[in-house]
Structure 1
Amino acid sequence: MTTNVNTATPDTGSATGHLTDADHEAIARELDALGAEIAADLGERDAAYIRRVIRWQRGLEIGGRAMLLASSLPPAWIAGTATLAVAKILENMEIGHNVMHGQWDWMRDPKIHSTTWEWDNVSPAEQWKHSHNFVHHTFTNVLGKDNDVGYGILRVTPEQKWHWAYVPQPLYNLLLAMFFEYGVAVHDLEIDKIREGTNDPEETRRKLRAIGRKIRRQWGKDYLAFPLLSGPQFLSTLAANFTANVVRNVWAHSIIFCGHFPGDVEVFEEDRLDGESRGEWYVRQLAGSANITGGRFFHLMTGNLSHQIEHHLFPDMPSNRYAEIAPRVRELCEKYDLPYHSGSLSRQVTSTWKKIFRYALPTR
């Protein structure tokens, strides 16, 4: 617990309200120094890591699709579907998400760069980078600014005004999990503005056309080209590709929701942004994120978003470094008496779904 004299107005409703202006400045200095230390240490070890993961992912995808050429045989269908699902998870989570964050731009490799990567997902990369990299990571958990708070269809905090349309949200969330890539695809459309009639119609149409092109590309690959290549196994291969996509979607949805909504993760009112210092921004990331505990393979399969706290603090830091800095971030939280939300996957999933059910109904 810091001993500095309190010069700030305490926020009694927040776990961070005890911090002083001096605390925020000190936190900013410590985290800036940590980020600079890792940036200065990046090198061939890190570049070799991402290239190795890309090779593994491509090998898994080729192997999975090869097995599905015999998809009418149950063992081949199961093995091919599982392998393809793992390949899609790796591509979306550890590769696509992180490459498009600019985590590997320092390598200056045009093939592994945020400006050139287009991921295996129906969401166009450019739209995702705006809604996620800019909007979400700038305004993390700020009501009315961060569209990730409930994704425009879910009530995940009592600060959101209740409406009868939230009552069936457990069903909405189940469907969102199964078809998560489509929810991500329309995220940048800002559905709230469309409902209110405050959107730019031409810009909305432009984005919809881009989404349509990406969907046609993905469907053409997964639901036409590769099933056709399997000849008489067309329908079984089609079903395998659909299943692999659903598995990837449910996994991504679970990991992302567990990093943002479980337990005592905080949301903030828009006036929190008025004059927000860098230290206050860091603290908002700490209070508004949650980690998931697990082993090395688990962290890899989450795209290291199991270290969601570290990712929100340093979104452009290579993901393979999050496990390295996590103990130091936790120590900083203990030093300043700040929350460090962390738990097992089962605990975080349970906590998140409890919120989905609880806030479907009116609350005091």
Structure 2
Amino acid sequence: MNTKTMTIGPRSMEEMAAFERELDAIREEVKPTLGERDARYIRGILRLVRTTETLGRALLMFGWFPPTFLLGAFLLGISKIVDNMELGHNVMHGQFSWMNDPRFQGDTFDWDNTCPKEEWRHAHNFVHHTYTNVIGKDRDFGYGMLRLSNDLRWSWLHPFQLLLTFLLAAFFEWFVAIHDMQMDKVVIGRRKWADVQPQWKLVRAKIWRQVRKDYIAWPLAGLAVGALFGHATDTALAVLCGNLIGNFIRNFWAWAIIFCGHFTDDIYTFSRESIENETKGQWYLRQILGSSNIKGSKLLHLLSGNLSHQVEHHLYPDIPANRYIEMAPKVRAVCAKYRVPYNTGYFIPQLLTVFKRIARYSLPGGSQKAVTIEVDSMLPEKA
């Protein structure tokens, strides 16, 4: 193992406290300004989701004509992307609960996804955001399947992880649905099936709801509409395939954005011991070191659910994501002041480093960069 030691971040408890105060101040500057502008924004996102879904599904009713089929499937995929990324993910963080609008309440909102909202809020909002990149605590680091750091032991499964990654990306919503059940531990005997039965009941109900909608109800509607034009079977098949393609579009995109958020070259991992007695400033530091941003256009920010600002999202998960673009320069300035790396890059280069990581750690060993933070005993490791 090639290890290189370097010093980053605040170098005293006084500096760490100042670092914490400056990041707190960015939040406190934004919170009083939340209001109608943000409410209009999220209401517009909901209209966008509904409009693209309506147009996509309507076009699929004439899916026996290839251009109509392709456009319908594409619009349905866009609707599902925006529903999951910019609407569902952010609303379920409670970013818009202050509106007191039942459509945007974080604890009751549900999305177009096989993952139950309750499972997502626990696995993502609590576990992942609390223990970001802490090996053995953050199950999003590798999703119980992939070896993405030499902190994790190599096994016979890992040479196949490029193939596993493709399957994970293609069926991302299905893997996310069972993610909190920790099925990898059930398979190796560390959890009993009886322990996950209550979760499985919840997951099974949500899966059935999505399957019934996308693969039974809408194709049957296509069968009825198609019969009016003499294309009953063709229309039903077009609707079925269009829903399947729309879900694949959403799955691949969500996978790519999420993996670019935590698995690029320049992210760091942490041991369980390193977060003992962790202060808020140290938690802030860990979120920054464990996250990666994506540079791009407003359209990219929208379609990524503003997870293109993953650093800001992990610092301020309850602040409306449409505000991250104005917070990012201030966060970056604080990072520069306190010698904290701020990882950002364009989408394709960031994604290529993700594939590089997946390929490298499919083999035994792997280099890492140890980082000394001269405050307490917080010692993250660059994977």
| Aligned 8 A contact 2:10 2:19 in 1 | no
Moved more, 184-193 or 315-324: 184-193
Structure 2 unmatched runs, 5+: 224-231, 367-383
Give the unaligned 5+ runs of structure 1: 1-10
Q: Secondary structure at the match of 2:143?
A: helix
TM-fit CA distance, 1:213: 0.8
Mapped partners of 2:5, 2:102: distance in 1: 47
2:348 pairs with 346, 349, 360, which one? 346
Superposition deviation, residue 16 in structure 1: 3.2
Give the structure 2 partner of residue 284 of structure 1: 286
Shift of the alpha carbon at 1:82?
0.7
Distance change (3 Å), C-alpha of 1:108 and 1:234: same
- The answer to whether the 8 A contact 1:135-1:145 is kept is yes
1:274 aligns with 2:276: yes
Aligned to 1:44: 36
The match for 1:119 among 86, 111, 118 is: 111
Give yes or no for contact 1:15–1:338 (8 Å, CA) kept in 2. no
Aligned runs of 1:217-232 on 2, under 5 Å?
Answer: 217-231=209-223, 232=232
Cα deviation, residue 75, structure 1: 0.9
Amino acid aligned to 2:239? T
- Aligned mate of 1:106, from 88, 98, 112: 98
Q: Which amino acid aligns with 1:228?
A: L
Match of 1:134 in 2: 126
CA contact (8 A) 1:16 1:283 kept: no
2:205 to 209, 213, 232: 213
Corresponding position of 1:4: none
Q: Aligned to 1:75, what secondary structure does the other structure show? A: helix
> TM-score of the superposition, structure 2-length normalised?
0.90
Instruction: Evaluate the alpha carbon distance shift between residue 120 and residue 135 of structure 1 in structure 2; reply closer, same or farther with a 3 A threshold.
Output: same
The whole-number CA distance in structure 2 between the counterparts of 1:50 and 1:360 is 41
Q: Which residue of 2 aligns with 1:33?
A: 25
CA distance in 1, matches of 2:162, 2:4: 31
The answer as to 2:160 corresponding to 1:168 is yes
- Greater displacement, 249-258 / 203-212: 203-212
Instruction: Find the residue that maps to 1:167 and give its secondary structure.
Output: helix
Question: How far apart, in 2, do the equivalents of 1:55 and 1:14 lie?
Answer: 49
Q: Which residue of 2 aligns with 1:72?
A: 64
* 2: CA distance, partners of 1:55 / 1:18: 44
Deviation for aligned residue 1:108 = 1.2
- Post-superposition Cα deviations, 1:150-193, rounded to whole Å, max 9, x if no partner, equal 00000111211111211100000001000000111111112344
SS at match of 1:292: strand
Task: Say if 2:293 and 2:309, in contact at 8 Å, map to a contact too.
Answer: yes
Give deviations 1:288-320, integer Å, cap 9, x for gaps.
000000011110000000000000001111000
Alpha carbons of structure 1 residues 15 and 325: separation in structure 2 relative to 1, 3 Å: farther
1:238 equivalent in alignment to 2:240: yes
Q: 1:15–1:124: structure 2 CA closer, same or farther, 3 Å change rule?
A: farther
Q: 2: distance between equivalents of 1:38 and 1:14?
A: 34
Instruction: Give per-residue Cα distances to partners, 1:71-117, cap 9 Å, x unaligned.
Output: 11001101101111100000000000000011111111112111111
Q: Secondary structure at the match of 2:269?
A: coil
Matched, 1:156 2:187: no
Aligned to 2:139: 147
Q: Distance in 2 between matches of 1:132 and 1:287?
A: 18
- Looking at structure 2, the residues matched to 18 and 292 of structure 1 have their Cα atoms a distance apart, in angstroms, of 25
- 1:19 Cα shift? 2.8
Are 2:266 and 1:264 equivalent residues in the alignment?
Answer: yes
After TM superposition, give the deviation of residue 128 of structure 1 in Å. Answer: 0.6
| Structure-1 separation of matches of 2:53 and 2:260 | 27
State the aligned residue count.
354
| TM-score for both structures, normalised by structure 1 | 0.94
- Residues 117-156 of structure 1 deviation map (CA, whole Å, 9 limit, x = unaligned): 1110000000110000000000000000000110000011
Partner of 1:85: 77
Give CA-to-partner distance per residue, 1:207-249, whole Å, 9 cap, x none. 1111111111101111111111111111121011101100100
- Asked if 2 retains the 8 angstrom alpha-carbon contact of 1:64 and 1:82, the reply is yes
Partner Cα distance (2:187, 2:351) in 1: 30
RMSD after superposition: 1.5
Aligned to 1:149, the other structure's residue is in SS state coil
8 Å contact 2:169–2:256 — kept in the other structure?
yes
Q: With a CA cutoff of 8 Å and minimum separation of 6, indicate the structure with the bigger relative contact order.
A: 2
| TM-aligned CA distance change 1:36 to 1:196, over 3 Å | farther
2:161 counterpart letter in structure 1: Q
Cα distance between partner residues in 2 of 1:194 and 1:13: 38
Paired letter, 1:71: G
Give the CA deviation at 1:195: 4.1
- Amino-acid identity (%): 46
Question: Deviation at 1:194?
Answer: 2.3
Tell me the SS of whatever aligns to 2:268: coil
Cα deviation, 1:266-304, whole Å, max 9, x if unaligned, reads 000110111100000000001000000001111000000
Aligned mates of 2:194, 2:104 — CA distance in 1 = 32
Which residue is 1:7 aligned to? none
**Is the contact between residue 16 and residue 287 of structure 1 (CA under 8 Å) also seen in structure 2?**
no
